[in-house]
Structure 1
Amino acid sequence: MKLFKDFKDYNDYLGVAKPLDNDIDIGYYEPANMRLKSESVMVDFYRISFKINFKDKTKPDAKPITAVFFNSPEMVGGWDIEPTFSGMYLQLSKKIIEENRFLFKNYLDYGLHEALFLTESELKEVSTLFGLMIKYYNSEKQNFGVLLSYVNVLISLVEAFYKRQFSSDPKQYNRVVTDFQQNLKNYYNEPVSQTPNVQFFAEKVGLTPNYFGDIIKHFTQKSAIENIHEFVIAKAKELLEKRTDLNNTEIAYELGFEYPNYFAKFFKKQVNLTPKEYRLQTISKN
């Protein structure tokens, strides 16, 4: 497998124009000049590809699609495609991502899961925006701030389009939510060494934490961590009410808290009572 650490080497391999900058690269696809088949490769930067009338030859029954595709560092991929598509691409270095983290959100790892399918009106918006980006990209560093602003607009559009896609095919995403809820219920079926976290449940359904979190929030109106905290509190209340043989420290360990005092602070923040106060209140009610 070949690793590409910069835009120039990858562009040469792919058959697209040489980059004008080491941190941002923007261009249009010309399939007649491009490598249409490749073994697995990996890039050490981020790529967003907007492909029109794209058909993957590895899927014989697949119909041409218009969609957004992503590549991220450590993501391995090869291709075998028909030379019928057109489109645009944006490449971003890890350096520029880190220096402008406030501009770049969850979309960066969406490509590990699925393409974003574009409607005609969405494609028109993206195409118009790319025309403006190319204009300022070709003027090089003197308009770098303007170019970054347009990149931010593009990212915001992509995020909005994904939310539209979540809503347009809820059955596909409801499985993620129901699996999450079932995995929550199962979490304490075995002894645990830590409290539940978003990454654990995302990996359970084969998704990255950001993408997983966006789906959960879209369908439950609460973030994944809020759902997890509610679950832990419910379990803590159950133990405090029913397991009178366990003291607060033992309950903290039972729930996966490394430090009992952190459990006490967490519980107080969520319930507005300490675990001891909650247990005493429950006893007095009974």
Structure 2
Amino acid sequence: MKLFTDFKSYNDYIGLNKPLDNDIDVGYYDPPNMLLKSEAVMVDFYRISIKINFKSKIAPTDKPINAVFFNSPELVLTTGWDVEPTYTGMYLQLSKKIIEENRFLFKTYLDYGQHEALYLTEEEIEEISAVFKLMIKYYESDKKHFAVILSYVNVLVSLVEAFYKRQFSTDPKQYNHIISDFQQSLIDYYNQPVSQIPNVQYFADKLGLTANYLGDIVKHFTQKSPLETIHEFVISKAKELLEQNPKMKTAEVAYELGFEYPNYFSKFFKKQVNLTPKEYRLKLVQINTKTSS
């Protein structure tokens, strides 16, 4: 496997122009003069790649596609690539340093490369191409325009966000299994003895997804984040235990649900229900007394 830690070595390998900056690199693809087949590759920086009329020999499709592809430092292209030299497109390369220093500009899509590309309509291609044209204009001029380039990067990422929402809504059936698998994994988790409250990363790992991707899919289709869903389920289980086991102490309920400290459970319950576990039980007693009288 080839590992590339900087733009220059990667560009030399693939046949792209020499980068003008160590933190941001923008350019156009020229497939006839590029490496069309490679071994396994990992780049230790972020890449956003727009490819038009793209056709891969490794994952062949009926017709060429227009799509945005993402690569993050954690992503290994185990099979490399083997592509037809007929596509056009643009690329944006971002160092880990620039991502960390400007995290507020970026959404979660940079790790989507592990799951799905963003397929573009003709109109979306025109919009992204217009942004790239301006970005390259300032990139190839003076470095004092660095802030302007970052602004265009932000515009590009915002367009990607809008286009992904369109893609999610175009064929919701293909995402249904992610929602149902997440919900079932949550049920399964509490059908066994537990020692801690699960987090989003736990379920993402179980489903073979990144936490960002799982979060965006769940949020888009349920209007609730995975964390909100987990919390709601925990509260539902807590209420069930408090109602069905009147002799069960609050601490025992806390441990049953995976809380390490009972006082954390009480604070969590109070925040979600606006009552402490003890107050919730007293309210149940009052309601039952009124019902029976």
Q: Same fold (TM over 0.5)?
A: yes
Residues 61/165 of structure 1: CA separation in 2 closer, same or farther (3 Å cut): closer
Distance 1:140 1:258 in 2: 56
Between 1:46-55 and 1:199-208, the stretch displaced more is 199-208
**Aligned twin of 1:41:** 41
SS in 2 for 1:38: coil
Residues 113/141 of structure 1: CA separation in 2 closer, same or farther (3 Å cut): same
Task: Report deviation, 1:284.
Answer: 3.1
Q: Where does structure 2 lack aligned partners over 5 or more consecutive residues?
A: 289-293
Distance 1:28 1:140 in 2: 19
**Aligned twin of 2:51:** 51
| Alignment match of 2:161 (pick from 159, 162, 165) | 159
Between 1:195-204 and 1:154-163, the stretch displaced more is 195-204
Task: Report deviation, 1:285.
Answer: 2.4
Percent of aligned pairs with the same amino acid:
74
| Alignment match of 1:230 (pick from 232, 236, 241) | 232
Distance 2:184 2:70 in 1: 30
Describe the superposition over 1:93-144 as per-residue Cα deviations: whole angstroms up to 9, x where unpaired: 0000010010011111111101100000000000011000000001141111
> Is this contact kept in 1: 2:24–2:94, CA < 8 A?
yes
Give 4+ residue runs of structure 1 displaced > 6 Å after superposition: none
Task: Report deviation, 1:245.
Answer: 4.1
**Aligned twin of 1:132:** 134
Paired letter, 1:45: F
**Aligned twin of 2:150:** 148
SS in 2 for 1:121: helix
Q: Where does structure 1 lack aligned partners over 5 or more consecutive residues?
A: none
SS in 1 for 2:40: strand
> Is this contact kept in 2: 1:56–1:62, CA < 8 A?
no
Distance 2:25 2:283 in 1: 62
Task: Report deviation, 1:61.
Answer: 4.7
Distance 1:269 1:199 in 2: 23
Distance 1:138 1:251 in 2: 63
Task: Report deviation, 1:198.
Answer: 1.1
> Is this contact kept in 2: 1:55–1:62, CA < 8 A?
no
| Alignment match of 2:108 (pick from 101, 106, 109) | 106
Task: Report deviation, 1:59.
Answer: 2.7
Distance 2:195 2:87 in 1: 50
Paired letter, 1:5: T
Residues 163/60 of structure 1: CA separation in 2 closer, same or farther (3 Å cut): closer
Paired letter, 2:158: S
Task: Report deviation, 1:145.
Answer: 0.7
**Aligned twin of 1:270:** 272
SS in 1 for 2:104: helix
Matched, 1:284 2:286: yes
Distance 2:62 2:249 in 1: 59
Task: Report deviation, 1:283.
Answer: 2.8
Describe the superposition over 1:167-222 as per-residue Cα deviations: whole angstroms up to 9, x where unpaired: 00100011111111222222211111211211112222221111111111111111
**Aligned twin of 2:291:** none
SS in 1 for 2:52: strand
Distance 1:3 1:261 in 2: 48
Paired letter, 1:54: F
Distance 1:217 1:239 in 2: 28
> Is this contact kept in 2: 1:20–1:140, CA < 8 A?
no
TM-score (norm 1): 0.97
Task: Report deviation, 1:277.
Answer: 1.1
Paired letter, 2:216: D
Matched, 1:189 2:191: yes
Between 1:93-102 and 1:58-67, the stretch displaced more is 58-67
SS in 1 for 2:21: coil
Distance 2:39 2:282 in 1: 65
Paired letter, 1:130: F
Alignment of 1:47-126 (within 5 A): 47-77=47-77, 78-126=80-128
Distance 1:61 1:92 in 2: 29
Task: Report deviation, 1:60.
Answer: 4.0
Alignment of 1:212-223 (within 5 A): 212-223=214-225
> How many pairs does the alignment contain?
286
> Is this contact kept in 1: 2:55–2:61, CA < 8 A?
no
